[in-house]
Amino acid sequence: MDTTQLALLALCAGIVIGGAISAIIVAALRARHRAQADTTLQVPDGVREVLHGMDDAVVVVDASAIVLAASAAAAPFELAEGRLLPSDELRALARRVRGADDPVSVAETMRLRRGVPPAEPRLVSVRATRISPRLTLLVLRDITEAERVEQMRRDFVANTSHELKTPVASVTLLAEAIESAADDPPQVRAFAARLSAEATRLGALTSRIMNLSRLQSSDGFTVGDVAVDEVVAAAIDAHAVQAASAGVELMRRGGRGTYVKGDVQVLTEAVGNLIANAISYSPQGGSVGVGVKAADGVVEIAVTDRGIGIAEGDQQRIFERFYRADPARARRTGGSGLGLSIVKHAVQRHGGEVTVWSRPGRGSTFTIRLPQSEPPAHARDAAGKKAKKHKKAKKDKTVTDAAPAASPRPNGEPA
């Protein structure tokens, strides 16, 4: 082999060896880059910006459950950059999804504290997704309200079907009784009268159920300036006949001219339900007072009776749907057990509350408290004019009264 051939061989060997070394270096660099991407604690570009634009509580955490990035909505859950995930359950979920090859995303429901104690723990649905071997994305959604509404809907359907069963069964039985008594006209008339009473009761129950479900949903609620005087007057008016036939006197007491924001019909029904109960549970010859008071931005409407009263154990429960302290009596008075539940929901929708004071044998006072609002412009103008007129009348009266003293008649008699 001559020197030229040797040189060529060396060159070829050099090219092969150089190529192999380059390939090894490139592969090593790539592998390092990949490993770096896997182990870096840097949140990928743009993730923070995406998180800031999100309404949900979202965080990115590293392998030690430290929050690296968080959306604004995550703050109430004590999820902030640089802090450890605040709950064992959250940490366990992040660990689980990081350790598993498959699936890369896991969802769980858990109770987490939201806000400073003594805030109640909230029911939260958490989805954890692995975005790299060391980074995990957690999306938290507060489902407390949705769960409460769903539970309420389930209870409502169950209670309602149960409550409707009895009058529907009575209607069926009475219809059969009419059929079998076809040859006995007085009996047919008696059954028909009872059938008609059951049908009326069924109608009233259905309309109450619908009112309650309307109050629990978000629609059918209008908000405007409501004159409390109008609400009280309309509620008293609507029960004047019931009061008269029960021999109960209805009395309006307290201040006038207060306003609240809300739905006049809903509030009138709420006050009306309290009046209806006060009449139903009062003895003949009794009296029911409806008083209005405003202080410190709160309007109080109190309905007081001197009737049978409510035992302490029942006072906690009477606002529940279909609860009756004395089912037999409630049935006699046509009670559905929905009246106070309607009051509670109506008042809550107005940002207020309803409370009860009662002593068995002495009577009860139900008080609705609502946030007071400014009277609307037209009411302020009318009140201003009235006050002016009143002031002028008073002034004129003072002048007239003062006149004799200022200019006594020559004979000294008052004018």
Tell me which residues touch ligand ADP (CB under 6 A): 273, 277-278, 281, 305, 307-310, 318, 323-326, 330, 335-341, 364
Which residues, in sequence order, are CB contacts of 387 under 8 Å at separation 6+? none
Angle between helices 264-280 and 339-349 (to 10 degrees): 150
C-alpha to C-alpha distance for 70 and 80, rounded to whole angstroms:
6
C-alpha to C-alpha distance for 394 and 226, rounded to whole angstroms:
31
Q: Closest distance between ligand ADP and the C-beta of residue 380, in Å?
A: 36
E strand map for 62-195: 67-70, 105-113, 121-130, 136-142
Q: Closest distance between ligand ADP and the C-beta of residue 68, in Å?
A: 53
The three state secondary structure string of 307-326 is CCCCCHHHHCCCCCCCCCCC
Which residue of the chain is nearest ligand ADP when measured via CB? Answer: 335
Q: Closest distance between ligand ADP and the C-beta of residue 338, in Å?
A: 6
User: Of 225 and 326, which CB lies nearer to ligand ADP in the complex structure?
Assistant: 326
C-alpha to C-alpha distance for 141 and 50, rounded to whole angstroms:
17
User: Of 98 and 321, which CB lies nearer to ligand ADP in the complex structure?
Assistant: 321
Q: Closest distance between ligand ADP and the C-beta of residue 301, in Å?
A: 14
In eight-state DSSP terms, residue 331 is H
* Residue appearing with tokens 């006038």: 256
User: Of 74 and 274, which CB lies nearer to ligand ADP in the complex structure?
Assistant: 274
* Lateral strand order in the sheet of 57-61: 67-70, 57-61, 136-142, 121-130, 105-113
Q: Closest distance between ligand ADP and the C-beta of residue 268, in Å?
A: 16
User: Of 258 and 273, which CB lies nearer to ligand ADP in the complex structure?
Assistant: 273
Q: Closest distance between ligand ADP and the C-beta of residue 205, in Å?
A: 9
User: Pairing mode, if any, of strands 249-254 and 287-295?
Assistant: parallel
User: Of 132 and 315, which CB lies nearer to ligand ADP in the complex structure?
Assistant: 315
User: Of 262 and 339, which CB lies nearer to ligand ADP in the complex structure?
Assistant: 339
Q: Closest distance between ligand ADP and the C-beta of residue 177, in Å?
A: 27
User: Of 79 and 167, which CB lies nearer to ligand ADP in the complex structure?
Assistant: 167
